Amino acid sequence: MSRQNTAAGTGDSGDELLARYSDSLLGVFGTPQRVLVRGSGATVWDADGREYLDLLGGIAVNALGHAHPLITSAVSSQLSTLGHISNFFTSPPQIALAEKLLTLAQAPSGSKVFFTNSGTEANEAAFKLARRHGGTSRSRIIALENGFHGRTMGALAMTHKPSYREPFEPLPQGVEWVPAGDAAALRAAVDETVAAVIIEPIQGEAGVHGHPDGYLEQAREITRAAGALLIFDEVQSGIGRTGAWFASAPAETDAVIPDAMTLAKGLGGGFPIGAMLTFGEHASSLLSPGQHGTTFGGNPAATAAALATLDAIEAGDLLSQVRRVSAHAQQELEELDFVAEVRAHGLLIGIDIAPSLSGAPGEAPSAGGPSAAPAPAMVAAALEAGFIINATGPHTLRLAPPLITTIEQIQRFIDALPEIHRRSTS
């Protein structure tokens, strides 16, 4: 059988498949850690038969874990009926999903939805929305330091990390950053020359950092007073990840209503789909026919998967489960002596490893060694122990497991963590 006709995983070992990967795929992701061949719930298996508890969930994507029967049924049923039609046409699941999202987001009359394939595309749409709002008189867009909005050119222009942006400059101009969570800095930056402010309610890629109480409300007040749009990037924090439908709406009475909100990751439960919601008549009228588009965005299969995901979250009362598991994890993790800080926003959890304990007692961590970057070393040790997690920095671990994850499963990881830490720092 030729290589082109060989199905991945049919007899090849993990190492053999990784060698084929290196020979055939562009190396923008580095070397994959494992070749995964199947999953069920929060568990996955690699090509060599090893089992892992997936506490990363495809980076907050697999809201219902792997091979959830409602998603597989919805997608297979939809594909057997009508799979793709382009946006010259629409379909019942596309319309139903838009209506459902607007309801969950407490969107006012006149609000609309634009579907994409990913979070970065949703933020590209938001960038163009800001440009349309700003016109020629409002050229500035304010983003937050340490914010991450994607890797396409517009979304990248709003992403703070220089090492991501600089190799691709010149990027779209006009983006400025202010310190995250600093309402005074935001107020000083936003005036009548600003088209929009974009904020992640929780900065996931930066290590799972929220903002001070009241910050989102102040951002709403500041942008409204200046006539600028307020855009919430809930690509990672939305769709139940924090124990609420959206991180910007921890309760119905606490919701801060922006002018636009972007979603993706958990929306399709593993099926690629993103969305930009525009709130109210003005924001929803800024993009007219022909000014933006997508070929695959919102197709029947993707929207059916998303509807199934939302239905399963509701039917399983997973928002409550997320809050219970999160509270348990925070309490247990904080008791570990090598953990400096835990930031648990539902099942988006940042764990800072204490630097003073990552090297020899009383000594500064050595540059370049495992003790200088304990988190990546712990990710590798955790994988060997059967747990998939990741690091967002040299001292910070991130967990973003499926919303179906149980207390027993998260406790299994917490029980193993001291040995994982010991192995990674010894």
> What's the CA gap between 269 and 121, in Å, rounded?
18
Under a CB-based contact definition with an 8 Å cutoff, are residues 90 and 300 in contact? no
> What's the CA gap between 407 and 403, in Å, rounded?
11
Under a CB-based contact definition with an 8 Å cutoff, are residues 170 and 155 in contact? no
Report which residue type is found at 136: T
Structure tokens belonging to residue 51: 């089992």
Under a CB-based contact definition with an 8 Å cutoff, are residues 314 and 362 in contact? no
Provide the annotated binding site. 119-120, 148, 151, 233-236, 294-295
- Residue 302 host element (H or E): helix 300-315
Buried b / exposed e over 114-148, threshold 16 CB at 10 Å, is bbbbbbbbbbbbbbbbbbbbbeeebebbbbbebbb
Structure tokens belonging to residue 395: 């001292």
Q: Name beta bridge partners: 199.
A: 232
Provide the annotated binding site for pyridoxal 5'-phosphate. 119-120, 148, 233-236, 295
Under a CB-based contact definition with an 8 Å cutoff, are residues 366 and 425 in contact? no
Under a CB-based contact definition with an 8 Å cutoff, are residues 142 and 186 in contact? yes
**Paired sense of beta strands 229-233 and 260-263, if any:** parallel
Report which residue type is found at 321: Q
Provide the annotated binding site for N(2)-acetyl-L-ornithine. 151, 294
In degrees and rounded to multiples of 5, residue 183 shows phi and psi of -65, -35
Q: Tell me how far CA of residue 397 lies from CA of 31, 125, 208, 324, 388, in angstroms.
A: 20, 31, 9, 20, 11
